[in-house]
Amino acid sequence: RTAFPWDEISVYAPFWDQVHLYPLLNGEKKDLEMPDHVKVHKDLIAPTISRISPKLLIDNASLVLKLFWADLRIHRSPMKFLRNVKLYLGEVSALLEIAQRLEKLIKEKGWDKRKDVQYYSYWFDQQAFILSLLKKKKLISGFISRAHGFDV
């Protein structure tokens, strides 16, 4: 077992009838042993960020432009940011694709109709961003994210 994320799961899992984990990265070389009621699903593993989906970017143009403008304003080197715009759009496109897949999964499982489903992100980064998109669409009522030292 590794400390991450096992320590957290071992504390919270006993309080739930079912726990479904959807990692976004395939970081573990081997699957961790989990209690029977904890399932690890790998169907949301992030797509490669080098592949840009123009349709997703266009369908979400308002959001993409807001993100782009906000990130450009706070970037230490705006020119460097602009030189890497293709990489940036690839990252945004990948996140939108994951959000779309998670939305489909939530609807298929009927979790959007249930009040007893909790959404949790261990990291306060891309995962929390994806959940915030689903919250904005009113697909989920809220989520919890853990903030680590560098997040604060």
User: Using one digit for the tens of pLDDT, what is the confidence trace for 91-118?
Assistant: 899 899 989 999 999 999 898 998 888 8
**Residue 87 pLDDT level (bands cut at 50, 70, 90):** confident
pLDDT at 86 over 80: yes
Q: What is the reported pTM?
A: 0.79
User: Using one digit for the tens of pLDDT, what is the confidence trace for 19-32?
Assistant: 888 777 666 556 66
Q: What is the mean pLDDT of residues 122-133?
A: 88
Q: Residue 2's pLDDT is what?
A: 47
> What is the rounded distance in angstroms from the CA atom of residue 64 to the CA atom of residue 70?
10
**Residue 125 pLDDT level (bands cut at 50, 70, 90):** confident
Q: What is the DSSP string of the chain?
A: --STTHHHHHHHGGG-S-EEE--SS---SSPPP--TTEEE--TTPPPPTTS--HHHHHHTHHHHHHHHHHHHHH-S-HHHHHHTHHHHHHHHHHHHHHHHHHHHHHHHHTGGG-SS---EESSSSHHHHHHHHHHHTTSSS--EE---GGG-
State the average pLDDT for the chain: 83
Q: Residue 116's pLDDT is what?
A: 84
**Residue 1 pLDDT level (bands cut at 50, 70, 90):** very low
Contact assessment for residue 98 and residue 130, using Cβ atoms and an 8 Å cutoff: yes
For 104, the token pair is 């489909």
User: Using one digit for the tens of pLDDT, what is the confidence trace for 58-81?
Assistant: 999 999 999 999 999 998 898 998
